[in-house]
Amino acid sequence: MLFKSKHFPILVLLLISLLIGIFTFKDYGMAWDEFLYYQYADSIGYAYSIPERLSDDYDLSLAFEPSAWDHQNHGPAYLIIARGAVYTLQSFTGIDKVAVWHLLNFINFLIGVYFLYYLSLRWFRPSVAISLTLLYTTQPVLWGHAFINPKDPPFATLFIATMYFGFRMVDNLAASRHKSPPWKDIIITGILIGLATNLRIIGPLLGIMLFAYATLKKKFKILFWFIPTAFIAILITYITWPYLWDAPIAKFIEILQTMANYPVSPKTLFYGTPYKSYEVPLRYLPVLLGITLTEPVWLLFAFGMSNILYRLYKKNIEWRSLSIILFWFFFMIAYVLIMRPAMYDNYRHFLFILPPIFIVIGFAFEKFFVWIRAPWMRAVIVLAFLIFGINGIIELHPYQYTYYNAITGGTGGAEGSYETDYWLTCYKEALEKFGNFTEKEETLIVFREAPNAAYYAPEHINVIGYRQLEPGDYVLISARLNQATTAKRHSPDILSVKRDGATFCVIKEIQ
């Protein structure tokens, strides 16, 4: 019976989360990166069109429109996989394209939640695995990005799924006494590594980590099977990345060099100072990790690490796969601190390093559950840890990705010191309010990313890009780089979009 299954709680979590997502996905505004990125999804089909390829005027660069110079460096695997579902749902429901993408993005996040649970079962019984998975799922910063970010959460999902199937592949190879290898696991792992490489150039790290795990098994014959795994990964990367087609090795090296010295350097707000992306202080990532995850996370992490060290001392822990999980997190932290890559938009590019934090937290829950036997008391303790994130998800909706914990005084306390709605998702609510504010035809000047605002503008509102302001003009100003806060000293707000005491964007009439 399904209800009696020990894994029933994860199904309940996924179902409840999906229902919440279905009822709320239309509330989320379009993020800064989405406008062009979904046009990339519309264009990429050109690369796979046989009639177009046979035509005399075939031009592969058209597959990367409308921002070919940037999009060609970003593999479109997720867009290729998801766009069919988006078009189908849009045609059946009539819901606008961006909103449907938000629903598909969230479903992708839930797939990552599913594999995090099953990955955790390597070390924990189901009650512990569901507890750490719940804490992960209710992080406001992750919940918010799950809808509006079609780049980073999909890579995090692939990372989790690849580790799950990769560990299983190595375990099955090590346990196999037959000449026939577990081809299903090899093929799935190869495909996932290829897709991950497509989405982020650091994807091959997955193969390196799994190779290291196989080496720790000390059954060196199984290392041979990484050759077909690598072949499949390379093939999938090539098939799903049209930019590589005419010169795969040269183009891949070019992308490596480009991403190592990324030519775009947007500024980001940190401790009240706008920094260029390649000039952020050394403490940038550690501080943001400390203040954007809920209050219990790092206390539980510290306790979990102490339990791991104790069990390592007692030699009663499955340390081989766990060491790879710890490497996943600590290696990336070391990479950021030593290599100092360009960083902006907080740490959205590094969302994939968060799952190991919660696996370590699982060892804290495990210890609690040894001390506390009563199921209802265990449930109360877990709920006490979850309430911080649940409260943030509710209070900040639909801007959960702007979450800051009590160390900064919440999102309101972080305003002016750190980025809040840096992706301008407040434009949707601002345009809806402005459409209700005036029924006559008006022009709204948007300080930056006018197309995003125009997407949500009612028919009687004409949105234009920034120009010299004159008395009587209406202007929309966002919170990015503290612009909305700075604008407070100018003419009063006609309307504003706020949560938890923080202003995300304002519309003013110039006087």
Let me know if residue 246 belongs to a domain: no
For 95-128, how does the pLDDT look when each residue is reduced to its tens digit (9 = 90+)?
999 999 999 999 999 999 999 999 999 999 999 9
Q: What was the pLDDT predicted at 485?
A: 57
Average pLDDT on 465-472 reads 83
3-state class (DSSP) for residue 508: strand
Task: List, in order, residues 6 or more apart from 404 with CB less than 8 Å away.
Answer: 291, 292, 410, 411, 413, 414, 418
Let me know if residue 52 belongs to a domain: no
3-state class (DSSP) for residue 507: strand
Let me know if residue 479 belongs to a domain: yes
What range defines the domain where residue 460 resides?
A: 427-509
Q: Please say whether the beta carbons of 455 and 98 come within 8 A.
A: yes
Q: Is the pLDDT of residue 486 over 60?
A: no
Let me know if residue 446 belongs to a domain: yes
For 369-394, how does the pLDDT look when each residue is reduced to its tens digit (9 = 90+)?
999 989 999 999 999 999 999 999 99
Q: What was the pLDDT predicted at 256?
A: 86
Tell me how far apart the alpha carbons of residues 196 and 276 are, in angstroms, rounded to a whole number. 28
Let me know if residue 164 belongs to a domain: no
- Respond yes or no on whether the N-terminal peptide bond of residue 458 is cis (omega within 30° of 0): no
Q: What is the mean pLDDT of the chain?
A: 93
Split into its structural domains, the chain has a count of 1
H-helix or E-strand spanning residue 402: none
Tell me how far apart the alpha carbons of residues 214 and 423 are, in angstroms, rounded to a whole number. 41
Q: Is the pLDDT of residue 484 over 70?
A: no
Question: Quick one: angle between helices 126-137 and 140-148, nearest 10?
Answer: 70
Residues of the chain above pLDDT 70, percent: 96
Let me know if residue 305 belongs to a domain: no
Would you give the end-to-end CA distance of the chain in angstroms?
69
Let me know if residue 222 belongs to a domain: no
Using 50, 70 and 90 to split pLDDT, how confident is the model at 324? Answer: very high
pTM: 0.95
Both tokens of 502, joined, read 């923080």
Average pLDDT on 147-167 reads 98
Tell me how far apart the alpha carbons of residues 364 and 301 are, in angstroms, rounded to a whole number. 7
Let me know if residue 34 belongs to a domain: no
H-helix or E-strand spanning residue 275: strand 273-276
For 268-310, how does the pLDDT look when each residue is reduced to its tens digit (9 = 90+)?
999 999 999 989 999 999 999 999 999 999 999 999 999 999 9
